[in-house]
Amino acid sequence: MGMIITAAATALPDRAAPASVVDLAGRAARGALARAQVPASSIGTLINVGVYREHNTFEPAMAALVQKEVGINLDYIADPEPAAGFSFDLMNGACGVLNAVQVGQALLDTGSTERLLITAADVHPGGDARDDVDYPYADLAGAFLLERSADPDAGFGPVRHYTADRPTDVEGYLDTATMGRHGRTAITVRREPDHAERLADFAARAAADYAREFGIDLDETLVIGPATTSDGAGAQGEPHTAAPVLGYLTAMDGVRHDDDHPLDHAYDQFLFVSVGAGPSAACALYRPEGR
C-alpha cells in the first residue's frame, strides 16, 4: 500500500498578537483534519519539523504542545482507541518534511499507526518576521495528513538524501556577542549573496540524480522545488520548512509558481525536492490517488 496525502493546509498569524509556532502549527493541523473530515482522535502520530520558534524556545518538544493544541488523544490510558497518540520533533531544516515522510512510511508500513500528521511551522523569535529586514523566512505553518492507500501505485516513493561537496552558505544561530538582553527575541541568519543560485543548482542536480535512479521522465513530472516566496500563502518572506506543503497546495490548485500558465493536468506525478543547510537535499516522488 502507498502512503498518500489525504489533506494539506497552511496557516498564517492573525497579527492580533505575536506569532506562535504552537498556534500556527495547530491551526494548520486542524485545517488539514477539517478538509479530510476526520477527528483528531484518529491520528496515531504527529511529527513536528519546524525550526524557528518564538523566544528561541528549545524545550519541551514543540510536537507535544502542538498535539495538545490540536487535542490529539491527550490521555492515552483513558482513550487508547482508535489511536494512543504519539508525537515528536524532527529537525532537519528545509528537508524536515521529507524526513518526516520517510519516517511516516516506516510507521504506516509496520502498522504502527493508521494516520500521521506532519506539521511544519516557523516563527521569528521576536514574534513578527516583518520587523527584522535581515530575516528571510515567513511566519508560516503547513500540515500534511498522511494515510495508507489501497492503491499500490499511489502515494510516496522512496525518499533519497544528497549532500553537496562544499561548505554550507546558510546558517541560523544566536549571536551571543551581539544579542545582549534581547537574546530571546533575536536570531542571526547568514546567507552568501549567491545562495539562491547555488540552491537552485543543487536542487536541479538532486532531481536529476533521483530521476536517473528511478527511471523518471522529468518532462512528464511536476517538480515541487524549494520556494523563494510565500506568495501562494499570502505571507511575507520564504516559507522554509513549510515549503513542500505550500508547493503541493499550489500544484493541486493548478497554478505554477514559475509562470502564469495553468498547470497541465496530464501530469500524474510530482517530485518533491527540498534543499537546506549542509548543503543537503531530499527528493521523493509522489503520485496522487486516481491519477
For residue 220, the domain's CATH number is 3.40.47.10
* Structural domain count of the chain: 2
- Answer yes or no: do 184 and 214 share one domain: yes
Lookup result for grid cell 543547510? 277
* pLDDT (0 to 100) of residue 121: 95
Query: Are 281 and 188 found together in one domain?
Result: yes
**What amino acid is encoded at 284 in this protein?**
A
What is the model's pLDDT at position 16? 78
As given in the structure block, the three cell numbers for residue 43 are 491520528
Cell output for 3: 502512503
Residue stretches of the chain with pLDDT short of 70: 1, 76, 79-84, 178, 182, 228-235, 255-266, 291
Are 238 and 227 contacting, i.e. CB atoms less than 8 angstroms apart?
A: yes
Distances (CA, A) of 40 to 8, 10, 74, 107: 14, 17, 10, 18
CA–CA–CA angle 99, 263, 31 (5° rounding): 50
Q: Are residues 129 and 211 in the same domain?
A: no
CB distance 243 to 234 below 8 Å: no
- Tell me: do 147 and 235 sit in the same domain: no
What is the CB-side half-sphere exposure of residue 10 using CA atoms within 13 A?
23
Q: Is residue 53 located within the same domain as residue 171?
A: no
Which of 135, 152, 169 is the last residue before a domain boundary? Answer: 152
Contacts of 237 (CB under 8 A, 6+ apart): 129, 135, 136, 137, 138, 139, 140, 230
Q: Are residues 132 and 174 in the same domain?
A: no
Q: Within this chain, do residues 26 and 140 fall inside the same structural domain, yes or no?
A: yes
- On whether both 33 and 115 belong to a single domain, the answer is yes
Judgement on whether residues 146 and 208 belong to the same structural domain of the protein: no
pLDDT score at 83: 64
**What is the domain range of residue 59?**
2-152
Q: Tell me what pLDDT residue 64 has.
A: 93
- pLDDT of the residue at 123: 93
Q: How many CB atoms lie within 10 A of CB 188?
A: 15
Q: Which set of grid coordinates corresponds to residue 233?
A: 500563502
Quick one: 226 and 267 in the same domain? Answer: yes
* Residues 221, 191 contacting (CB under 8 angstroms): no
Q: Amino acid letter at 125?
A: P
Q: What's the pLDDT at 155?
A: 94
107 and 21 in a single domain? The answer is yes
pLDDT tens for 58-86 read 778 899 999 999 999 887 677 666 666 78
Q: Are residues 146 and 171 in the same domain?
A: no
